[in-house]
Amino acid sequence: MLWLYLHFPHLLLDHIQRNQESMGALAILDSARQCIVQACPTAQNLGIETGMRLKTALALAPDLNTLQAEPKQEAWLLEDQARWLYHFAAHITLVPPDGLCAEVSSLQKLYGGLSAIWQTIEQALTERRLTAWIAVGHTPLAARLLAQTGKGECSADKAHLLTALGKLPLLSAGFDKKSCTRLQRLGLNSLGEVFTLPAPELARRLSPELLARVQKIEGTRSDPQAPWQPPHIFRQRADFIQEVEHTQGLFFSLQRILAELEEDLCWRQQDTDTLLLTLQHRHEEATRLRIRTTGPEHRAEAFLKLIRLKLDQQPLKAPVTALIFTVKQFTDREVPIGQDLLGETADLDEAWHTLISRLQARLGEQALRQFSLKEDYRPECAWFAKEVLKPGQKQEKAPASLPHRPIWLLKCPKPLTQIPVAWLSGPERISGGWWDGQRVHRDYYIAQLPGGELAWVFRNHQDGWFIHGWFG
Partner 1 sequence: MSKLLSTLLQDARVWQGYQHRRATQPAESTGYQALDNQLGGLGWPKGALSECLLDTWGIGELHLVLPLMQRVSEEGKTIFWLNPPHTPYAPALAREGVNLGHLVMINTQDRNDFLWTLENCLRSPVTGLVFAWPGKLASRDVRRLQLAAEAGNNLCVLFRSRQHVEQNSPAALRLELVPGEHQELKINIIKRRGSWPGQRCSLALGHRANSIDHNSVRVVQGPWPKTRR
Asked if residue 405 binds partner 1 (CB under 8 A), the reply is yes
Q: Specify the residue, 119 or 370, whose C-beta has the smaller distance to partner 1.
A: 370
Between 140-148 and 158-166, two packed helices, what is the crossing angle to 10 degrees? 50
Q: Smallest distance, Å, CB 416 to partner 1?
A: 10
- 459 pairs with which residues across the strands? 443, 465
Cα 123 off chain centre by: 23
Cα distance between residue 183 and residue 170, in whole Å: 8
HSE-up of residue 57 (Cα within 13 Å, Cβ side): 28
Asked if residue 423 binds partner 1 (CB under 8 A), the reply is yes
Using the rule CB under 8 A, which residue among 62, 200, 334, 371 binds partner 1?
A: 371
Q: Specify the residue, 286 or 424, whose C-beta has the smaller distance to partner 1.
A: 424
Q: Smallest distance, Å, CB 420 to partner 1?
A: 7
Candidates 291, 81, 258; CA nearest to 250 is 258
Using the rule CB under 8 A, which residue among 124, 382, 432, 441 binds partner 1?
A: 382
Q: Specify the residue, 229 or 366, whose C-beta has the smaller distance to partner 1.
A: 366
Candidates 186, 218, 220, 189; CA nearest to 201 is 186
The radius of gyration of the chain from alpha carbons, rounded to an integer in Å, stands at: 34
Q: How many residues of this chain interact with partner 1, rule: CB under 8 A?
A: 65
Give the contact letters, 433-462, x = binds to partner 1 (CB under 8 A), - = no. Answer: ----------x-xxxxx-xxxxx---x---
CA geometry: angle at 27 spanning 25 and 28, to 5°? 160
DSSP 200-233: HHHHHHT-HHHHHHHHHHHTSS----PPP---S-
Q: Smallest distance, Å, CB 352 to partner 1?
A: 4
Residue 77's CB: how many other CB atoms inside 10 A?
Answer: 19
Asked if residue 112 binds partner 1 (CB under 8 A), the reply is no
Q: Specify the residue, 130 or 309, whose C-beta has the smaller distance to partner 1.
A: 309
Q: Smallest distance, Å, CB 308 to partner 1?
A: 14
Asked if residue 359 binds partner 1 (CB under 8 A), the reply is yes
Q: Specify the residue, 223 or 443, whose C-beta has the smaller distance to partner 1.
A: 443
Cα distance between residue 224 and residue 140, in whole Å: 9
Cα distance between residue 455 and residue 469, in whole Å: 6
Candidates 472, 440, 433; CA nearest to 459 is 440
Q: Smallest distance, Å, CB 351 to partner 1?
A: 5
Q: Smallest distance, Å, CB 381 to partner 1?
A: 11
Candidates 406, 399, 236, 402; CA nearest to 324 is 236
Cα distance between residue 130 and residue 144, in whole Å: 18
Candidates 94, 80, 100, 88; CA nearest to 14 is 80
Using the rule CB under 8 A, which residue among 378, 383, 432, 466 binds partner 1?
A: 383
Using the rule CB under 8 A, which residue among 21, 198, 411, 435 binds partner 1?
A: 411
Cα distance between residue 129 and residue 8, in whole Å: 12
Q: Specify the residue, 62 or 452, whose C-beta has the smaller distance to partner 1.
A: 452
Asked if residue 226 binds partner 1 (CB under 8 A), the reply is no
Asked if residue 348 binds partner 1 (CB under 8 A), the reply is yes
Asked if residue 351 binds partner 1 (CB under 8 A), the reply is yes
Q: Smallest distance, Å, CB 430 to partner 1?
A: 13
- 27 pairs with which residues across the strands? 39, 66
Candidates 49, 130, 147; CA nearest to 85 is 130
Q: Smallest distance, Å, CB 255 to partner 1?
A: 24
Q: Specify the residue, 211 or 416, whose C-beta has the smaller distance to partner 1.
A: 416
Asked if residue 377 binds partner 1 (CB under 8 A), the reply is no
CB 12 within 8 A of CB 69: yes
Q: Specify the residue, 106 or 460, whose C-beta has the smaller distance to partner 1.
A: 460
Asked if residue 337 binds partner 1 (CB under 8 A), the reply is no
Q: Smallest distance, Å, CB 389 to partner 1?
A: 8
Candidates 380, 363, 382; CA nearest to 372 is 382
Binding interface with partner 1 (CB under 8 A): 347-348, 351-352, 354-356, 358-359, 362-363, 367-373, 379, 382-383, 385, 388-389, 391-392, 395-396, 398-399, 402-411, 419-420, 423-428, 443, 445-449, 451-455, 459, 463, 469-472
